Amino acid sequence: MRRLALAAVLIAVPAFAQGIKLEMNVNTSESRAESRAESSSFSNEAYKLSYDSSSDGRTLMKVLEPEGARCDVWDGNRKATFEVPFSFDAAPDRFYKFVVYLPNGQVFEKKLEAKARQVGKLYVQGGGSATVMVRVDGPAHAPPPPPPPAGPVPMGEGDFSALVGAVQAEDFSGEKLDVIRTASSRAYFTVDQVGRLVDLMDFGNDKVQVVEITRAKIVDRQNAFQLYQHFEFAGEKQQVKRLLGN
């Protein structure tokens, strides 16, 4: 029987990958005709599994149908991914879990034993339905829905504390506003943070300017009404309402 080396996508601990020798059956009909003096097999509607004595004493597992399907082979919590048909040298008398993704959207999943010095051959039904098939949710191989777009994230408390310190370090209101203006060019704020910046200013007009500078960067505009309590005079509150579109 001719064999061709097959590259496999390994999604596991490297030791599992290195312990598997892959071979691709170029002529599956030839491999079906292969027989030994001692053999056994069983099948149901969904799959057929047979064991033949190995001529060279190796322990092999082969998946021969459906051709072109993807198959994950699990050895404990380690996984290797192949394309059917393929074969690999297996550990004698060890159980491997085979997960075959069929063209019809179903998934075959079963634990099978690699018997010492025997060749195990697995043929999985490629169409229709069967009792051991497990349907996956949604279309076959459908990608998960994309996550919702992430909204802007307000400045972290550590960075905001540093900003407050920088504002307080300035002596004049114009310089204080320049610090806030520079920070708001890249950062976002909560209403609470904007209110705390407003309280750093001494004069009403400067307090209003803080709102004007930061209004486009407020992430929770639904709470904007909380800013009114930071202003003493009705005229200033009206200016803030206009700035916030209320």
Residue 178 lies in a domain: yes
User: Do 122 and 165 fall into the same domain?
Assistant: no
Q: Tell me the average confidence (pLDDT) per consecutive run of 10 residues in the chain, 246 residues long.
A: 38 43 40 45 76 92 92 92 93 94 87 93 69 41 67 92 96 95 95 96 95 95 93 93 85
User: Do 119 and 230 fall into the same domain?
Assistant: no
Place of tokens 């999985």: 124
User: Do 68 and 115 fall into the same domain?
Assistant: yes
**Which residues contact residue 162 at a Cβ distance below 8 angstroms, ignoring those fewer than 6 apart?**
none
User: Do 123 and 18 fall into the same domain?
Assistant: yes
Confidence at residue 174, expressed as pLDDT on a 0 to 100 scale:
94
Confidence at residue 10, expressed as pLDDT on a 0 to 100 scale:
37
User: Do 62 and 11 fall into the same domain?
Assistant: yes
Residue 168 lies in a domain: yes
Residue 117 lies in a domain: yes
Confidence at residue 42, expressed as pLDDT on a 0 to 100 scale:
63
Contact 112, 122 (CB under 8 A): yes
Measure the CA angle with vertex 181, ends 177 and 184; round to 5°. Answer: 135
Contact 98, 112 (CB under 8 A): yes
Residue 142 lies in a domain: no
Give strand pairing partners of 114. 94
Residue 58 lies in a domain: yes
Confidence at residue 29, expressed as pLDDT on a 0 to 100 scale:
38
| SS3 label, residue 163 | helix
How many independent structural domains does the chain possess? 2
Confidence at residue 30, expressed as pLDDT on a 0 to 100 scale:
39
Residue 63 lies in a domain: yes
Three-class secondary structure assignment of 15-64: HHHHCCCCEEECCHHHHHHCCCCCEEEEECCCEEEEEEECCCCCCEEEEE
Measure the CA angle with vertex 238, ends 232 and 240; round to 5°. Answer: 85
Residue 196, domain extent: 157-243
- The C-alpha atoms of residue 15 and residue 123 are separated, in whole angstroms, by 27
Confidence at residue 116, expressed as pLDDT on a 0 to 100 scale:
92
User: Do 109 and 41 fall into the same domain?
Assistant: yes
Contact 221, 152 (CB under 8 A): no
User: Do 57 and 171 fall into the same domain?
Assistant: no
User: Do 17 and 128 fall into the same domain?
Assistant: yes
Contact 112, 88 (CB under 8 A): no
- The C-alpha atoms of residue 137 and residue 135 are separated, in whole angstroms, by 7
